[in-house]
Amino acid sequence: MADVSGPPKESFRLSQLIYDSRYRSLTIQVVATFLLTAAIVWLGMNLVENLNRLGRGFDLGFLWQRAGYDISQTLIPYTSESTHGRAVLVGMLNTLLVAFLGCILATIIGVIAGVLRLSNNWIVSRLMAVYVEGFRNVPLLLWLLLIFAVLTEATPEPREFRPDENGVAAYSMFLGDSMAFTARGTLIPAPVWEPGSGVLVVIFIASIIGAFVWRRHALRQLYQFGRVVPILWPVLGILILPTLIGFFLLGRPISLEYPVLGRFNFSGGATISNAFMALWLGLSLYTGAFIAEIVRAGILAVSKGQTEAAYALGLRPRRTLSLVVLPQALRVIIPPLISQFLNLTKNSSLAIAVTYPDIRATLGGTAITTTGKELEGLLLMGLFFLALSFLISGVMNFYNSRVKLKER
């Protein structure tokens, strides 16, 4: 009879920490964590040490001091008497504005260019290839400077709109003197809200809701009963007619204020500054080129059989794209699209190159040079972009979980 003894008793030796695969990963993690912590502590101590030697503690008090400088584009009331904190807020809002509008325009440009690049029309697809390669392969800063230079150099100064002694001006405004392109910005009429305009806004919002209700009704008719109810024209009618009728019934409560040439600049109306325009267009065109490639990849990722099946069912190419291909492509498109949105948002910090007053120009520029709080300013700016990026990826991930393939 064989002498059966139990399994050898576990005895732990120190060398097992390295040679035993059960412990090795743990060892590596502990060592790595320790080194990382030591590095961070060392950097932190170095920072505190150096700041102390310079006699400058970490202090955010400057945010409550008077800023003393003016900002060209303010979405909230701001004067040079306001605090640095408010100037920072103005910069943040300007960043948010250009990032938000940039993401929308970049998506529109990207989807159109991506789809057209797959077009069977040789010229169209080549043109889109030129656009994509041209914008993807040239640094964004150069595009921004180019667009800005075109906007400022190729457009007339406001005083060139003033008639000379013969009553002839070198340049004139467009669309019945309502619009003008100048070296400083694009001037457009601004709405003037008079009493009763609130009612009109309510009517308009109600008609938007009405349009959605009609669309749902039409789709239900289609899916449940197979009845085709027209969508486009009724929706347009619902959107426009009640507001239009209300507009005249209420005695035109909203009027347009046209820009008028003053001593130096146009006054009245609204000005879209060239700085904003250049940054917005530059960011959108640049990021749009990347999004176009993502969209193209997403469409190509949908099996050709899907398209053929749709054709076999008699769907026209356009419907095939919108009903069969794009919904499936979205699952591939959304995750890389998130990082493009993040890129666009972060790239917006190039704003000062085109004189746009974003957070980099207020907090990261004038505020830290006048107060000397470089560290605090840069940390705050980093935190802002971090928080913004988390917010964007959070929203986009939520959307992604809605459209992704539901596995049951």
Partner 1 sequence: MKKSVFFGVLTAAGLVAGASAAATLDDVKARGTLNCGVTTGLTGFAAPDANGEWQGFDVAVCRAVAAAILSDPTAVEFVPTTGQTRFTALAAGEIDMLARNTTWTFSRDTDLKFDFTGINYYDGQGFIVPSALGVSSAKELDGATICIQTGTTTELNLADYFRTNNISYEPVPIETNAEGQQQYLAGACDAYTTDASGLAATRASFENPGDHIILPEIISKEPLGPLVRHGDSEWGDIVRWTLNALIAAEELGITSANVAEMSSAPGDNPEINRLLGTEGDLGAMIGLDAEWAKRAIMAEGNYGEIFEKNIGETTPIGLARGLNAQWQDGGLLYAPPFR
Interface contacts to partner 1, rule CB under 8 A: 38, 41-42, 45-46, 49-50, 53-56, 68-72, 79-81, 149, 152-153, 156-159, 182-184, 262-265, 267, 274-275, 352-353, 355, 357, 361, 365-366, 368-372, 374
Nearer to partner 1 by Cβ, of 276 and 290: the residue is 276
To partner 1, the closest distance from the beta carbon of 372 in angstroms equals 4
- Comparing CA positions, the residue from 70, 133, 22, 11 lying closest to residue 361 is 70
Nearer to partner 1 by Cβ, of 88 and 333: the residue is 88
DSSP assignment letter at 66 = B
To partner 1, the closest distance from the beta carbon of 228 in angstroms equals 55
Nearer to partner 1 by Cβ, of 119 and 369: the residue is 369
To partner 1, the closest distance from the beta carbon of 126 in angstroms equals 34
- Dihedral sign, Cα of residue 74, residue 78, residue 82, residue 83: negative
Report the C-alpha gap between 392 and 398 in whole angstroms: 10
To partner 1, the closest distance from the beta carbon of 260 in angstroms equals 12
DSSP assignment letter at 364 = I
Report the C-alpha gap between 176 and 185 in whole angstroms: 18
DSSP string, 142-191: HHHHHHHHHHHHSS--GGGGS--TTS--SS--BTTTTBEE-SSEEEE-EE
* Rg from Cα positions in the chain: 30
To partner 1, the closest distance from the beta carbon of 230 in angstroms equals 50
Nearer to partner 1 by Cβ, of 10 and 81: the residue is 81
Nearer to partner 1 by Cβ, of 274 and 320: the residue is 274
User: Is 259:266 a contact under the CB 8 Å cutoff?
Assistant: yes
Would you call 259 exposed, middle or buried from its count of C-beta atoms within 10 A (0-12, 13-18, 19+)? buried
To partner 1, the closest distance from the beta carbon of 307 in angstroms equals 50
Nearer to partner 1 by Cβ, of 284 and 362: the residue is 362
